[in-house]
Structure 1
Amino acid sequence: MLTVYGHPISSFTWKALIALYENDTPFDFITVDQSTYADFIAKWPMGKFPILIDSDRKKMVTETSVIIEHGGKRPDPPALAHAAVRAAVAKARDLAPSLPLFAGGKSFGGRMTSQAQTKEPLPHVRGLVFFGFPLHPAGKPSDERATHLSDIRLPMLFLQGENDALASLDLLKPVVARLGERAALKLVPHADHSFHVPAKTGRTDADVLNEILDAAAAWMLGRD
């Protein structure tokens, strides 16, 4: 059984809840308030919500994007995702034929874009931008998902949170280093897979979003 602890006015709580509702995933929801706070803190002393408790697997998930992955349905099969990437690239080319074209995506979308490029080069694409490349499942460090990246001849930019549960830096940094001059890595201090940062950093998620978008824009301009 799945149990989610969160609060109705928390945007991150709703990101997780919407995914669970859309996937018809059964779960119990507990609002973190004065009556439940002690129980919540006992389970997760960091005090950040939402968290998901999977009693069947005896597992706790503490990051919104990983909750979505944990409780959601299986993603689209790779062949379908690759076709979607190619359709998006073709549409972008049709809409703005005079502009430099770059491809990429967030998490699964970026990974599928990289796979599509290795299957058959994406027409007119000058580089790939990965917003939170999902190097491995949460809690299962591995770099197997990066094996195909060595076959990509395009420039690549990895935008990654330092606290990303889906990309151990001990594994990601060597992956990027092995790609040589083709790859660049931009790390966001304190950010998780969703690029969320704790309030104690004095920064907002909007600040982080502006930072990574500026970094992506500067990198793409440098490839023009």
Structure 2
Amino acid sequence: MNVADISGVAHAPAATPAGVVLLTHGAGSNRDAPMLIRLCDEWAARGWLAIRYDLPYRRRRPKGPPSGSAAADRAGVAEAVSVARELTDGPVIAGGHSYGGRMTSMAVAGDEAGAGVAVDALTLFSYPLHPPGKPERARTEHLPRIGVPTVFTHGTKDPFGGIDELTAAAALVAGPTTVVEITGARHDLGSKTLDVPKLAVDAALRLLT
């Protein structure tokens, strides 16, 4: 099995990789999302092999949101981690934007009956705490089962959950956490003043060590 098997694109560092980073996309996007490309470029510049990959629902059809595919998408995360383990003896970091980050975190958390996918850290971007305007529909029930270091990178104007909500959710995680606050950013994490990839990678590396 290799990177192509998971519909992935690799960003290779100049020397032997320190480890592998796996990043996947949000519900309406794909592996070519500009933010994923920038993040993978940043990780590669820091000496890591960075892979951006499509979740199974996106491999089946080029457009449209996921529908009833959560179990298969979590299996796709597990498959990507398996590929990463074959590529490095170093750490494996996994994560993604919005839906992709949620599926990754759920795969790592596992369920109450069994262990989840083994990674060394999680890096989650614009974690969708709840649908916009519906805070009562929280998507946090699995967070206490996450025991690895976890970085949440989140915009202060994200309609899927405010910074206070995110900070409270991060406190549920059993492992160490960091919240990277992107002032003024919405769900796409766009910022004219902050280098989001640099801030996110800095935080992940600090937490990992």
Q: 1:174 aligns with which of 168, 178, 194?
A: 168
Q: 1:129 aligns with which of 123, 128, 145?
A: 123
Show the 5 A alignment for 1:1-224: 72-75=64-67, 77-95=69-87, 97-119=88-110, 120-123=115-118, 125-142=119-136, 144-179=138-173, 182-197=176-191, 203=192, 208=194, 211-222=195-206, 223-224=208-209
Deviations 1:157-177, CA, capped at 9 Å, x for gaps: 100011001112332222223
Structure 1 79/181 Cα, relative in aligned 2: closer, same or farther at 3 Å?
closer
Inter-partner Cα distance in structure 2 for 1:185 and 1:136 = 17
Deviation at 1:73, TM superposition (A): 4.0
Deviations 1:84-131, CA, capped at 9 Å, x for gaps: 101111112222x133211111100100011111213323x1111101
SS in 1 for 2:184: coil
SS in 2 for 1:129: strand
SS in 1 for 2:86: helix
Inter-partner Cα distance in structure 2 for 1:178 and 1:74 = 26
% same residue: 32
Letter in 2 for 1:93: R
Is this contact kept in 2: 1:85–1:112, CA < 8 A?
yes
Is this contact kept in 1: 2:154–2:182, CA < 8 A?
yes
Structure 1 89/180 Cα, relative in aligned 2: closer, same or farther at 3 Å?
closer
Structure 1 177/73 Cα, relative in aligned 2: closer, same or farther at 3 Å?
closer
SS in 2 for 1:218: helix
Deviations 1:147-197, CA, capped at 9 Å, x for gaps: 210111111110001100111233222222344762111110000000124
Is this contact kept in 2: 1:135–1:142, CA < 8 A?
no
Deviation at 1:221, TM superposition (A): 2.3
Inter-partner Cα distance in structure 1 for 2:92 and 2:65 = 32
SS in 2 for 1:147: coil
Is this contact kept in 2: 1:136–1:166, CA < 8 A?
yes
Is this contact kept in 2: 1:102–1:129, CA < 8 A?
yes
SS in 1 for 2:136: coil
| TM-score (structure 2 length as normaliser) | 0.61
User: Which protein is bigger by CA-based radius of gyration?
Assistant: 1
SS in 2 for 1:136: coil
Q: When the two structures are aligned, how many residues end up with a matched partner?
A: 144
The unaligned stretches of length 5 or more in structure 2 are 1-27, 30-62
The unaligned stretches of length 5 or more in structure 1 are 1-17, 20-70, 198-202
Letter in 2 for 1:84: G
Structure 1 215/99 Cα, relative in aligned 2: closer, same or farther at 3 Å?
farther
**Higher percent of residues as helix:** 1
